[in-house]
């Protein structure tokens, strides 16, 4: 199987042959057969043909043509770089030769010289077409990769731009890197981003109808159904939204380091504090969850993010109880034991669930 470079060279050769003039129906049938042989052939030819047209058909080969006028197809063949004598059906107008000239150019020698220049011009055009294709590929290239974690797993992912994404439990994201933008679609869960500085390419994390944009900073984004939480520990990020299901568009919010933003359909609430306080929301990276006077129902939901065995609140009164402390999210049994020892709560295990009721 030919390499992509070989295919591009072949496509460029077909273009050079077609635009040199004398293109016949037999030539077209051969080109059609080559294009039909492989989708890679067709893609390379279309890309190079577009580059050829956009380059104004190599204006350098159109010497003498007014600016802004594209040379007609095949017209460069009769230029000083072309092979005029290769077209027997075209009228020939020989240059006058003075009698005292020290040499005379015969028709045969002139044909060889023109043929050589023709091949040189064709080679130069081929090289330029390939270069244009490589430049075009650089500016339109897109690198795409997807990542996901299972329940109870964390994953640190180095991205191609030098940034690093840390995926929390049961999370999924799609990364698309192009010349103009670095885009991450957080499809599920939570991720922390240490963004490499690149002012020319904003780093955008989208989640539902909202976008979090940064250039070089450290922040996390978490999806909870239609709600979003953004925690910034370094730099400045911009939180904005598309039109929401209720038809409203929330104003853009700038979040400096130490900010924790909670976005929902009703609006955006920002808590401003120290970076250390913001870091507590990210203790999951070290294997912990932190609670401060937190309803037990909320704490149970947090544990459920990291464990296949789920805590079920069987009594609304139990769910309203307040808890605090740092706990390893992987040790759900220890958390339940502490609840049973310190609160009027009893735990009943049923398959993959632990049901909490009032004792």
pLDDT tens-place string over residues 277-318: 999 999 999 999 999 999 999 999 999 999 999 999 999 999
**Exposure on the CB side of residue 278, measured as CA atoms within 13 A:** 26
How much is the pLDDT for 90? 44
How much is the pLDDT for 94? 44
User: What average pLDDT does this structure show over 227-245?
Assistant: 89
How much is the pLDDT for 8? 80
Higher pLDDT, 111 or 3: 3
Higher pLDDT, 180 or 68: 180
Please say if the pLDDT value at position 238 is more than 50: yes
How much is the pLDDT for 105? 43
User: What average pLDDT does this structure show over 145-151?
Assistant: 96
Please say if the pLDDT value at position 243 is more than 60: yes
| Rg of the chain on CA atoms, in Å | 34
Checking 251-259 for CB contacts under 8 A at 24+ apart, the result is: 255/219, 255/230, 256/232, 257/217, 257/232, 257/233, 258/232, 258/233, 259/230, 259/231, 259/232
How much is the pLDDT for 276? 95
Q: Does the reported pTM lie above 0.75?
A: no
Q: Which of 146, 87, 83 is nearest to 118 (CA)?
A: 83
Q: Under a CB-based contact definition with an 8 Å cutoff, are residues 331 and 288 in contact?
A: no
Residue partners of 281: CB distance under 8 A and separation at least 6 = 220, 229, 231, 260, 290
Give the model's confidence band at 91: pLDDT under 50 very low, under 70 low, under 90 confident, else very high. very low
How much is the pLDDT for 97? 40
Higher pLDDT, 5 or 183: 183
Could you tell me the domains of the chain?
Answer: 4-140 (no CATH), 142-280 (2.60.120.1440), 287-358 (3.55.50.30)
User: What average pLDDT does this structure show over 186-198?
Assistant: 96
């Amino acid at each position: 199987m030919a390499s992509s470079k070989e295919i591009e060279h072949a496509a460029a050769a077909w273009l050079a042959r077609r635009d040199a003039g004398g293109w016949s129906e037999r030539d077209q049938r051969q080109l059609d057969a080559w294009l039909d042989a492989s989708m890679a052939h067709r893609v390379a030819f279309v890309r190079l043909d577009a580059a050829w047209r956009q380059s104004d058909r190599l204006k350098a080969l159109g010497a003498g043509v007014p600016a802004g006028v594209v040379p007609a197809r095949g017209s460069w063949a009769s230029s000083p770089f072309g092979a005029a004598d290769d077209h027997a059906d075209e009228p020939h107008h020989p240059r006058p030769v003075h009698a005292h000239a020290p040499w005379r150019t015969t028709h045969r020698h002139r044909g060889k010289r023109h043929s050589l220049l023709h091949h040189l011009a064709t080679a130069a055009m081929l090289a330029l077409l390939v270069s244009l294709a490589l430049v075009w590929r650089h500016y339109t290239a897109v690198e795409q990769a997807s990542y996901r974690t299972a329940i109870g797993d964390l994953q640190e992912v180095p991205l191609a731009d030098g940034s690093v994404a840390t995926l929390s439990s049961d999370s999924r994201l799609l990364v698309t890197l192009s010349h103009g933008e670095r885009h991450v679609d957080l499809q599920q869960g939570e991720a922390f981003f240490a963004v490499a500085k690149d002012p020319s390419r904003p780093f955008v994390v989208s989640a539902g109808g909202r976008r979090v944009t940064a250039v070089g900073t450290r922040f996390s984004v978490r999806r909870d159904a239609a709600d979003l939480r953004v925690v910034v520990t370094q730099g400045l990020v911009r939180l904005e939204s598309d039109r929401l299901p209720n038809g409203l568009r929330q104003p853009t919010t700038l979040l400096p380091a130490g900010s924790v933003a909670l976005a929902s359909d009703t609006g955006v609430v920002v808590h401003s504090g120290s970076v250390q306080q913001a870091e507590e929301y990210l203790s999951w990276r070290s294997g912990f969850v932190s609670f401060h006077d937190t309803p037990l129902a909320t704490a149970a939901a947090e544990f459920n993010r990291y464990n296949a065995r789920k805590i079920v609140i069987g009594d609304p009164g139990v769910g309203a109880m307040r808890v605090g402390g740092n706990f390893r999210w992987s040790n759900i049994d220890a958390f339940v034991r502490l609840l049973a020892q310190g609160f009027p709560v009893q735990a009943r295990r049923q398959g993959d669930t632990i049901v909490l009721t009032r004792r």
